[in-house]
Amino acid sequence: MNDPSRSLERRRILLRLWKGLGLVAGVELLAIAAAFFSPRKSGQQAGSIVVAGPASDFALGSVTPFPQARFYLVRLADGGFLALSSRCTHLGCTVPWSDKERAFVCPCHSSAFDVRGEVLSPPASRPLELFAVAIERGLVLVDTSRRVERSRFEPDQVAHL
Ligand code: FES
């Protein structure tokens, strides 16, 4: 036999349980949304001084990726250094370096940049941004705390030993 008061009590308990589970799911959803929209931390190097290594470790004409800090360290043929942001200046995709093409070619809309970060083909209209480079006691240091926008390559953007 069904006791109506026990049945009613069971319904109340189930209703509380469902409300509790709904609350937990809601809190988890908020936590996931907060984590998704909060700024990304790209490792311990981003937003700080990155010690790239001894200048002598970088061959003339080389492009070395620092994916955690989101830049490429370029050593030009004359021995100078540029730290190019890996963020495309069109819509912000990460731009890989192609050794074969000797260019940065964006996978999103095919913008291309030369080894100094200058635009080879649109839709990007600005060169890749820079991070400041300093060379101290033979070590290459890159300041990733601030991106430097530029309209074109200028020789004074290059850091020399
Ligand atoms: Fe790179 Fe559009 S984001 S070409």
pLDDT (tens digit, 9 = 90+) per residue, 47-68?
599 999 999 999 999 999 999 9
* Cα gap 34→93, rounded to integer Å: 22
Tell me, in angstroms, the distance from the centre of ligand 1 to residue 95's CA. 8
Tens of pLDDT, residue by residue over 102-160, are 999 999 999 999 999 999 999 999 999 999 999 999 999 999 999 999 999 999 999 99
Q: DSSP label at 85? A: E
pTM higher than 0.95 for the full model?
no
Could you tell me the two tokens for 151?
Answer: 């309209």
Could you tell me the two tokens for 29?
Answer: 């959803």
* Cα gap 61→133, rounded to integer Å: 17
Q: How far is CA 41 from CA 15, 46, 64, 126, in A?
A: 41, 7, 21, 26
Tell me, in angstroms, the distance from the centre of ligand 1 to residue 158's CA. 25
Ligand 1 neighbour 124 (Cβ under 6 A): yes
* Cα gap 38→46, rounded to integer Å: 15
